[in-house]
Structure 1
Amino acid sequence: MDILGPFPPAKGQVKFLLVAGDHFTKWIEAEAVATITANHVQKFFWKNVITRFGIPYALLTDNGLQFTDLRFNEFLTGLGIKHKMTSVEHPQTNGQAEAANRSS
Structure 2
Amino acid sequence: MSRSATRETPFSLTYGSEAVVPVEFITPSPRMVAFTAEVNDEERKIDLDLTDEIRDAFAARIALHKNIFANYYNARVKYFRFRPGDLVLRKNSISRSEPQGKLNPRWEGLYRVVDASQSGYCKLAHRDGVLVPRTWHAENLRLYYP
Q: TM-score per shorter chain, which class?
A: under 0.3
TM-score if structure 2 supplies the norm length? 0.18
Q: Which one has a bigger Cα radius of gyration?
A: 2
